[in-house]
Amino acid sequence: MSSDTYKTDALIAEDIEAYLDKHQHKTMLRFITCGSVDDGKSTLIGRLLYDSKMIFEDQLAALESDSKRVGTQGQDIDFALLVDGLAAEREQGITIDVAYRFFATESRKFIVADCPGHEQYTRNMVTGASTADLACILIDARKGVLVQTKRHSFLCHQLGIKNLVLAVNKMDLIDYDQEKYDAIIADYEEFAKSIGIESFTAIPISGLAGDNITTKSENTAWYDGPTLMEHLEAVEVRSDANLDKPFSMPVQWVNRPNLDFRGFSGLISTGSVKPGDLVRSLPSGKTSTVKSVVTMEGELEQGVAGQSVTITLEDEIDCSRGDVLAAADNPPEVADQFESTIVWMDEDPLVVGRAYWMKIGTQTVSVTVAEPKYEINVNTMQHLAAKTLELNAIGVSEITTDKQIVFEAYADNRALGGFILIDKITNRTVGAGMLHFSLRRAQNVHWQATDITRDDHAAMKNQRPRVLWFTGLSGSGKSTIANEVEKKLALMNRHTFLLDGDNVRHGLNKDLGFTESDRIENIRRIGEVAKLMTDAGLIVLTAFISPFRADRQLVRDMMGEGEFIEIHVDTPLEVAEARDVKGLYKKAREGKLKNFTGIDSPYEEPEDPEIRVNTVAMSPEEAADYVISKILPLK
């Protein structure tokens, strides 16, 4: 229990000013502990808190009484009770979520992410690992390297953690046997090499007995390495490693208190910046010189990785939230197609082709994920074929953003290579990913600028191009009404084109079926065709069931502001089914037609369509007049 390495009571009592001065110069290390309940992870953390005096007397009293009541250590203190936070967890005796703990020694402050170990908590572990400088992987000395040891090591390695500690715990239970310890290390080393882990530090410990935690244990005289605490205090933190890289800073916010001041606020992710440096704003590529690095304490001579600053420039260049300021001679790349690793974190699996929000740095863009190249079995590291990614699955996929983003490979710069995926409807964070590299396509296929612009095309036709997107159940009357609307527009000398669902499936989309991802691809292609037609100046009418909000949103995002007019042909299911013009409902009810919208596949009604048509109250002719009356006044 003795922990002389960081007992500082004497200094605190005698010279508090000296103590404070010392402690104001502490550094900070964030680490993650991995291992399951049985490996004694909570006990180890409890021990670290206890030995560093982070447990106060009243907590200790509560701990002692809890230990006797529900603890697993008889009359002894059960350190695990100190760490397991939520009520549900205390009752079930398991750790569900990521919990953060704090302790400090003379030279460092530590933030520990305590993560659950079971396979169903892979997402929690990835979350904890994302901010860690170091991972402490616990092994039960009696059991050696297990499947979960490999899984944890693999995940930490994927998240780019360079400092791995293999803490062989419960040494007291194998009588501090060096041979057994060496065998475990040899076993682990072989595995580590196979997945590309270059180095790790192994330490024999006992969380319960306190061996090699803060003081060298006499029980392991054969071990001459550092104690766990010595190692945690000595290891290099990541922000220092980032300092040697070229300068980059994602712009969070433009600071504009008055006409004389325009600053770009952000957290410097790599490198350093000082007045006079030539910087480039991306993706525009415009360059300028740094005028000042502003903070409330005054201007800095130099801003470094890890600091939040506000930068002013000599020139008025276009730069706003989402852009990245970087060293002019060594800027990050810009692209819109990438290969990336994706960890899925939601109960609903990944939908290939669906548009999600992607947040990377301070950029938020729309992104689609292609069918995974493979999924990785986190226990065996084998590559498996996969159509999608389920909760806790990890795979490699190509992804496409709807516009160019500034990025770096995750391995080089976490801030510009790590991203999260957000569901556009539920707003949940559904996945996280790490960019590997951009696909050459994006760089080599340039947009061909043409002399006759889309505005010219539209002007010649004397109209504003639009997409009138009719959505509704099968048999709701979309095609009939769209057809009527087109006739009326033609009489008004408008240039139009009607894209009909069934017709498109005979040609352009005849290779597509009716699975969820095929339906999404169907809509995406129609969206692209409609967009080309609006570029040609046409008013495009489309009649597709298009049951999913996210997919209609995808098309809306492709079009210019105000060009996409969503028209909900609102016919109740009973009415559409009673009409059953094509006899499809009957087939679906008999089970002869699968994935039929309204029957065994959902229709997500538009929440806020530009136009809603009630076909129960109106005839197709009246409905068409109503639509015309709504679109004519639009600017």
Partner 1 sequence: MTLTHLQRLEAESIHIMREVVAEADKPVMLYSIGKDSAVMLHLAKKAFYPSPPPFPLLHVDTTWKFKDMYDLRERSAQEAGMELLVHRNPEAEEMGINPFDHGPLHTDMWKTQGLKQALDKYRFDAAFGGARRDEEKSRAKERIFSFRTASHGWDPKSQRPELWNLYNARKKKGESIRVFPLSNWTELDIWQYIHLENIEIVPLYYSAKRPTFEYEGGLFMADDIERLEKVMGKRPEITERSIRFRTLGCFPLTGAVESEAATLPEIIQEMLLTTTSERQGRVIDKDSGDASMEKKKQEGYF
Strands 253-258 and 383-384 turn out to be unpaired
Handedness of CA 192, 194, 195, 196 (dihedral sign): positive
Site string for partner 1, 122-141 (x = CB under 8 A): -xx-xx--xx----------
Round to whole Å and give the CA distance between 93 and 80.
9
Q: Binding site annotation covers 474?
A: yes
Among 115, 192, 208, 422, binds partner 1 (CB under 8 A): 422
Catalytic residue list? 546
| Residue among 97 and 189 whose Cβ is closer to partner 1 | 97
| Residue among 100 and 222 whose Cβ is closer to partner 1 | 100
Sites for partner 1 among residues 104-123 (CB under 8 A) = 104, 108-109, 111, 123
Q: Binding site annotation covers 403?
A: no
Q: How far is CA 173 from CA 72, 170, 188, in A?
A: 16, 5, 20
DSSP 3-state assignment of 538?
coil
Q: Smallest gap, in angstroms, from Cβ of residue 267 to partner 1? A: 4
Q: Rule CB under 8 A: say whether 280 interacts with partner 1.
A: no
Encoded tokens for 178:
């060096």
373 within 8 A of 342, measured Cβ to Cβ: no
Sites for partner 1 among residues 211-250 (CB under 8 A) = 237, 239-240, 243
355 within 8 A of 403, measured Cβ to Cβ: no
Q: What is the DSSP string of 540-596?
A: EEEE-----HHHHHHHHHHSPTTTEEEEEEE--HHHHHHH-TTSHHHHHHTTSS-S-
Q: Smallest gap, in angstroms, from Cβ of residue 417 to partner 1? A: 10
Q: Binding site annotation covers 42?
A: yes
DSSP 3-state assignment of 360?
strand
Rounded to 5°, angle at Cα 167 from 162 and 170: 170
Round to whole Å and give the CA distance between 41 and 397.
34
Q: Rule CB under 8 A: say whether 409 interacts with partner 1.
A: no
Q: Smallest gap, in angstroms, from Cβ of residue 496 to partner 1? A: 36
Q: How far is CA 300 from CA 67, 297, 303, in A?
A: 52, 9, 6
Q: Binding site annotation covers 38?
A: yes
Q: Smallest gap, in angstroms, from Cβ of residue 125 to partner 1? A: 11
Q: Binding site annotation covers 472?
A: yes
| Residue among 173 and 237 whose Cβ is closer to partner 1 | 237
Q: Rule CB under 8 A: say whether 101 interacts with partner 1.
A: yes
Q: Rule CB under 8 A: say whether 261 interacts with partner 1.
A: yes
Sites for partner 1 among residues 58-77 (CB under 8 A) = 58-60
The CB density around residue 328, as the number of other CB atoms within 10 Å, is: 18
Q: Rule CB under 8 A: say whether 292 interacts with partner 1.
A: no
Instruction: Kindly tell me the burial class for residue 374, based on how many C-beta atoms sit within 10 Å of its own C-beta (0-12, 13-18, 19 or more).
Output: middle
Q: Rule CB under 8 A: say whether 23 interacts with partner 1.
A: yes
**Region binding partner 1 by CB under 8 A among candidate stretches 24-32, 139-147, 173-181, 333-341:** 24-32
Q: Rule CB under 8 A: say whether 97 interacts with partner 1.
A: yes
Amino acid at 157: H
Q: Rule CB under 8 A: say whether 310 interacts with partner 1.
A: yes
DSSP-assigned beta bridge partners for residue 280: 287, 326
83 within 8 A of 45, measured Cβ to Cβ: yes
Q: Binding site annotation covers 7?
A: no
Q: Smallest gap, in angstroms, from Cβ of residue 271 to partner 1? A: 12
**Region binding partner 1 by CB under 8 A among candidate stretches 102-110, 448-456, 543-551, 614-622:** 102-110
The CB density around residue 459, as the number of other CB atoms within 10 Å, is: 12
Q: Binding site annotation covers 170?
A: yes
| Residue among 19 and 191 whose Cβ is closer to partner 1 | 19
Sites for partner 1 among residues 350-389 (CB under 8 A) = 357, 359-360, 362
Q: Rule CB under 8 A: say whether 12 interacts with partner 1.
A: yes
Alpha helix ranges (H) inside 177-255: 178-194, 228-234, 238-242
- Tokens 């160019």 locate to 404
DSSP 3-state assignment of 250?
strand
Q: Rule CB under 8 A: say whether 53 interacts with partner 1.
A: yes
Q: Rule CB under 8 A: say whether 4 interacts with partner 1.
A: no
Q: Rule CB under 8 A: say whether 2 interacts with partner 1.
A: no
* Closest CA relative to residue 587, chosen from 573, 577, 572: 577
**Region binding partner 1 by CB under 8 A among candidate stretches 15-23, 167-175, 212-220, 393-401:** 15-23
Q: Smallest gap, in angstroms, from Cβ of residue 326 to partner 1? A: 18
Strands 272-273 and 308-313 turn out to be unpaired
Q: DSSP label at 460?
A: H
Sites for partner 1 among residues 428-447 (CB under 8 A) = 428-429, 432
Q: Smallest gap, in angstroms, from Cβ of residue 87 to partner 1? A: 4
Among 215, 287, 307, 483, binds partner 1 (CB under 8 A): 307
Binding-site members are: 35-42, 114-118, 169-172, 472-479
Binding-site members for GTP are: 35-42, 114-118, 169-172
